[in-house]
Structure 1
Amino acid sequence: MAGRNSKTQNPLDAPKGRRTSVIPRRPVTSRDRFGRATEAIARAMGTPFFLIGLTLFCVVWIGFNSIGPENLRFDSAAIGFTALTLILSLQASYAAPLILLAQNRQDDRDRVQFEQDRQRAERNLADTEYLAREVVALRLAMQDMASKEFIRAELRSLLDELDRGHDDVPDAPPAGSARIRSSRGTPTGSLPVVNP
């Protein structure tokens, strides 16, 4: 009994669904957080506000280092604003990969969306073809069925034939039979008359 309990506590002997991990797992964090951050930065860099802000930053930097107090200037115009050039180069060197990452993520999303659209279009095409086949089958079945107009036309022609047949028959019924007339006055049949 003790051996059996020691076996069940071994994580490798338990079924996969109930097995506890031998190596403790780290909590799963969102692996997509960095991608979302790069997209947000790339979107921010593509706005007019970023361009206006960068332009104002450069104008203030150059203006302060050109006409500001001599002892407070930190980037000399004589050496071509080296610090500003380095800052803008650093910003550009980070902006290009961030934009490329955002474009790659957008391409992945577009690819998934295109695949979903293609599958949806295939389903719609299959549904349309099925409905077209059903409509054709219904039309073929309807051709075999008598329509209301067809039945009315047939009944009219039968009534006309009965009326014409009534006009050909003399008024007096033959001896030994009595005519039964319908509500329209057309003979529907004859019954033998039994003499009492």
Structure 2
Amino acid sequence: MAAERDTRERHPAGATATGRPRARLDQPRPLRRRLLPEWDPDAFGRLSERIARFLGTGRFIVWMTVVIIVWVVWNIAAPAALRFDEYPFIFLTLALSLQASYAAPLILLAQNRQDDRDRVNLEQDRKQNERSIADTEYLTREIAALRMGLGEVATRDWIRSELQDMIKELEERQNGHRAPAVFPADHPRGRDMDDR
């Protein structure tokens, strides 16, 4: 009893023999601290698409041209004490290369997202086309079956001609005062093989 109590003290409930607590599956895991900040890839992708869309407009080119002209004119015409980037315009070159180094990956990311959307749309279109083809084939088979079935159905012209034949036959019998035939075997022409 004392040994059992000693074991329980050394290994509390939920702990393994190695001394680490067991992971409980009925409870959520505790949040872990991360060194890097968390970010939402979709939000970043949407932001990159907005930036890439703006970079691809005439408005961006006009604003960038205006800023560069003002920058160059200011650093040439302003008094020497107010100039912040002298003639070789190294700071301007650095700013433009930094803008280009960020613009290229953002444009590529936006293109990748667009490619993913296009792939999903293409897959949906392919499935829709397959369903349309299957529906068309089904309807074609149904129409063919209806045509085959209509070949065996009595048409209005056929029924009209049969009724006219019967009227003529009845008129002939009434004129000849013969008793009407009850069974098809008594029919003067024999059995009618053209019924269908």
TM-score w.r.t. the length of structure 1 is 0.70
Contact 1:65 1:73 in 2 (8 A): yes
Task: Summarize the alignment of residues 1-196 of structure 1 with structure 2, pairs less than 5 Å apart.
Answer: 12=24, 19-24=26-31, 30-77=40-87, 80-166=88-174, 169=176
Secondary structure at 1:37 match in 2: helix
Q: Which has the higher strand share?
A: 1
Contact 1:11 1:21 in 2 (8 A): no
C-alpha deviation, 1:156, in angstroms = 2.0
AA in 1 matched with 2:170: L
Q: Mark the runs of 5 or more structure 2 residues left unpaired by the alignment.
A: 1-12, 15-21, 181-196
Contact 1:42 1:99 in 2 (8 A): yes
C-alpha deviation, 1:76, in angstroms = 1.0
Q: Mark the runs of 5 or more structure 1 residues left unpaired by the alignment.
A: 1-5, 180-196
- For 2:39 and 2:150, the matched residues in 1 are separated by 63
TM-score w.r.t. the length of structure 2 is 0.70
Distance 1:66-1:29 versus aligned 2 partners, 3 A rule = closer
C-alpha deviation, 1:86, in angstroms = 0.7
- For 1:46 and 1:32, the matched residues in 2 are separated by 21
Per-residue deviation, residues 24-64 of structure 1 (Å, max 9, x unmatched): 489x9743111111111111100110011111111111111
The number of aligned residues is 157
Distance 1:70-1:159 versus aligned 2 partners, 3 A rule = same
C-alpha deviation, 1:74, in angstroms = 1.0
C-alpha deviation, 1:123, in angstroms = 0.9
Contact 1:41 1:98 in 2 (8 A): yes
Secondary structure at 1:76 match in 2: coil
- For 1:94 and 1:29, the matched residues in 2 are separated by 18
Distance 1:20-1:162 versus aligned 2 partners, 3 A rule = same
Per-residue deviation, residues 74-124 of structure 1 (Å, max 9, x unmatched): 1112xx111111110100011111111111111111111111111111111
Distance 1:32-1:68 versus aligned 2 partners, 3 A rule = same
Secondary structure at 2:81 match in 1: helix
- For 2:172 and 2:157, the matched residues in 1 are separated by 22
Moved more, 156-165 or 55-64: 156-165
Secondary structure at 1:44 match in 2: helix
Matched-pair identity in %:
48
